[in-house]
């Protein structure tokens, strides 16, 4: 009887208009895609570029999502996040290199399993290193922003050098496995198979993340902690432990992103971390520090824009990201979806 009361009250509450989701940033993405169609002209080229852009965007989201949560929850900005990206990419070269039997096979299933194994191993390694990184490098400098920036930078230098120690300082090719090379054709549009895979993985990660954040208690704690960490502690939750978990997850995700990025670029260098770092920072500034939704839209915007400008005006590519960042900050100085009550 009492449960019925609560349920009916919930139903009654549902009749009360809920706060509307702010769709303007999503509209911005759609507007960008429409603009791209107009400027590019050919729908098939547009489709190719857009899929490529979305793929790139999803990969960037996977990498950046962890970082934005880490910052939102514990006010720690890991300038060394790039290390995990590079680590993931290099681990993939070793795993896929060792599974040459599967990667050269024409069977899609074996190929997918090989890539999947690389992803899993990369995530485990990156997560493990992330745990060590948090303990040794980050933990002593909570709340000291200047030292954080310096020390995480230092961590990145050391990490990059250690990668060179293990894998050598040179570029290593990372081609996708047999069956995942080449493209599907929809009319005139060539859609690279691997990019579709990246979109699929990215979408999966996004959905899982959203589910965890909105439907589980842990996710609830993270969302609450991003807003008001002190109050969450006062409610009896050990936020420090939560943070380690988020840090490890963020690092693992960066490793996963590294695998995908390496396959997307088809090669891996030790500088890959530093290169992607800049993109990541732009994305999380655009999205709003601490906001997963903002990070998602921001990543897609950056990915799609990069591919459009790469086609239309290649010289302006990286500049376009800065311009986008400036434009969005002028519109919303705290990012697309600012996190309230910091």
Partner 1 sequence: MIIQRLLSHDLPRSRWLAAALMATVLLLALAPLLFPGAKSMGVAAKMLVFILLVVSYDLLLGYTGIVSFAHTMFFGIGAYGVAIASTRMGEGWLAVATGSTLALLASLLLSLLIGLFSLRVKAIFFAMITLAVAAAFQTLASQLSDFTGGEDGLSFRNPLWLSPSFRLFDAPVLGVHIDGRLLAYYLLFGVVALAFLLLLRIVNSPFGRVLQAIRENDFRAEAIGYRTVVYRTLSNVLAALFATLAGVLLALWLRYTGPDTTLSFEIMLDILLIVVIGGMGTMYGAVLGSVLFVLAQNYLQDLLALGAGAFVGVPVLGAVVSPDRWLLWLGVLFVLSVYHFPTGIVGRLRTLAAAQPDEADKADKADKAGR
Partner 2 sequence: MNLLTLAGVHTHIGAYHILHGVDLEVPEGAVTVLLGRNGAGKTTTLRTVMGLWAASKGTVRFAGEAIERQPVPEIARRGIAYVPENMGIFSDLTVQENMLLAARGARHADQLDRARLQWIFDLFPALQKFWLYPAGKLSGGQKQMLSVARALCEPRRLILIDEPSKGLAPSIVNNLVQALRELKAQRTTILLVEQNFRMARLLGDHVAVMDHGRVVHTGTMAALAADAELQQRLLGLSMGLSTGLSMNAHA
Name the residues that contact partner 1, by CB under 8 A.
71, 77, 79, 137, 140-141, 145-147, 149-151, 153-155, 157-158, 161-162, 164-166, 169, 274, 277-278, 281-282, 285, 289, 315, 317-319, 321-322, 325
- The listed partner (partner 1, partner 2, none) that binds 231, CB under 5 to 8 Å by sort, is partner 2
With CB under 8 A as the rule, give the number of residues binding partner 2: 34
165 in contact with partner 2 (CB under 8 A): no
Record the tokens describing residue 256, joined without a space.
Answer: 């996963």
Pick from 232, 263, 300, 336 the residue near partner 2 by CB under 8 A.
Answer: 232
- The listed partner (partner 2, partner 1, none) that binds 169, CB under 5 to 8 Å by sort, is partner 1
The Cβ-side half-sphere exposure at 222, using a 13 Å CA radius, reads 29
- The listed partner (partner 2, partner 1, none) that binds 203, CB under 5 to 8 Å by sort, is none
| 185 bridge partner residues | 190
Which of 145, 151, 133, 146 lies closest to 76, judged by CA?
145
Which of 292, 276, 321, 279 lies closest to 85, judged by CA?
276
- Helix (H) or strand (E) run with residue 184 in it: strand 183-186
- The listed partner (partner 1, partner 2, none) that binds 339, CB under 5 to 8 Å by sort, is partner 2
Pick from 35, 136, 207, 231 the residue near partner 2 by CB under 8 A.
Answer: 231
**Smallest distance, partner 2 to C-beta of residue 110, A:** 40
| 186 bridge partner residues | 189
- The listed partner (partner 2, partner 1, none) that binds 51, CB under 5 to 8 Å by sort, is none
Cα–Cα dist 268/246, whole Å: 26
Cα–Cα dist 176/338, whole Å: 38
2 in contact with partner 2 (CB under 8 A): yes
Pick from 34, 124, 144, 235 the residue near partner 2 by CB under 8 A.
Answer: 235
What is the DSSP code (8-state) at residue 179?
Answer: G
Stretch that binds partner 2, among 4-12, 37-45, 151-159, 313-321 (CB under 8 A): 4-12
Cα–Cα dist 328/89, whole Å: 31
Which of 207, 234, 205 lies closest to 221, judged by CA?
234
**Smallest distance, partner 2 to C-beta of residue 17, A:** 9
**Smallest distance, partner 1 to C-beta of residue 93, A:** 17
227 in contact with partner 2 (CB under 8 A): yes
221 in contact with partner 2 (CB under 8 A): yes
Pick from 45, 175, 228, 329 the residue near partner 2 by CB under 8 A.
Answer: 228
163 in contact with partner 2 (CB under 8 A): no
Phi-psi region of 41 (alpha: psi -120 to 50; beta: other; left: phi over 0): left
| Cα end-to-end distance, the chain, whole Å | 41
| Cα–Cα distance list, 161 to 155, 248, 255, 277 (Å) | 10, 21, 17, 16
220 in contact with partner 2 (CB under 8 A): yes
Residues 190-219 touching partner 2, rule: CB under 8 A, are 216-217
Q: Residue 72's CB: how many other CB atoms inside 10 A?
A: 25
Check if the beta carbon of residue 51 is closer than 8 Å to that of residue 199: yes
**Smallest distance, partner 2 to C-beta of residue 15, A:** 10
Which of 185, 164, 183 lies closest to 271, judged by CA?
164
Cα–Cα dist 39/182, whole Å: 26
- The listed partner (partner 1, partner 2, none) that binds 18, CB under 5 to 8 Å by sort, is partner 2
Check if the beta carbon of residue 156 is closer than 8 Å to that of residue 82: yes
Pick from 86, 115, 119, 239 the residue near partner 2 by CB under 8 A.
Answer: 239
Using CB under 8 A as the criterion, which residues of the chain lie in contact with partner 2 when the complex forms?
2-3, 5-6, 9-10, 12-14, 16, 18-19, 216-217, 220-221, 223-224, 227-228, 230-240, 339-341
């Amino acid at each position: 009887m009492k449960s019925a009361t609560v349920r009916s009250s919930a139903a009654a509450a549902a009749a009360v208009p809920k706060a509307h989701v702010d769709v303007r940033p999503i509209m911005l993405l759609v507007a960008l895609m429409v603009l791209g169609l107009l400027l590019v002209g050919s729908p098939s080229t547009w489709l190719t570029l857009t899929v490529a852009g979305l793929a790139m965007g999803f990969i960037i989201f996977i990498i950046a999502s962890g970082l934005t949560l880490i910052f939102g929850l514990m006010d720690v900005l890991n300038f060394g996040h790039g290390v995990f990206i590079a680590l993931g990419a290099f681990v993939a070269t070793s795993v896929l290199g060792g599974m040459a039997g599967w990667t050269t096979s024409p069977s899609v299933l074996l190929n997918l399993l090989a890539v999947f194994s690389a992803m899993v191993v990369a995530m485990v390694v990156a997560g493990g290193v992330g745990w060590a990184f948090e303990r040794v490098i980050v933990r002593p400098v909570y709340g000291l922003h200047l030292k954080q920036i310096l020390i995480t930078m230092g961590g990145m230098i050391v990490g990059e050098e250690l990668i060179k120690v293990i894998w050598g300082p040179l570029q290593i090719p990372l081609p996708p496995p047999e069956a995942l090379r080449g493209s599907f054709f929809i009319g005139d549009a060539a859609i690279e198979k691997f990019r579709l895979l990246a979109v699929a993985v990215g979408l999966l990660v996004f959905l899982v993340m959203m589910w965890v954040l909105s439907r589980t208690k842990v996710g609830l704690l993270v969302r609450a902690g991003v807003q008001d960490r002190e109050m969450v502690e006062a409610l009896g939750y050990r936020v420090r432990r939560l943070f380690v978990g988020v840090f490890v997850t963020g690092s693992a995700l960066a490793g996963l992103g590294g695998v995908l990025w390496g396959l997307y670029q088809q090669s891996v260098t030790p500088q890959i971390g530093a290169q992607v770092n800049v993109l990541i920072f732009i994305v999380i500034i655009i999205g709003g520090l601490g906001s997963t939704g903002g990070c998602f839209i921001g990543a897609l915007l950056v990915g799609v824009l990069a591919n459009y400008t790469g086609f239309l005006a290649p010289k302006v590519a990286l500049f376009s990201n800065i311009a986008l960042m400036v434009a969005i900050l002028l519109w919303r100085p705290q990012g697309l979806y600012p996190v309230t009550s910091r």
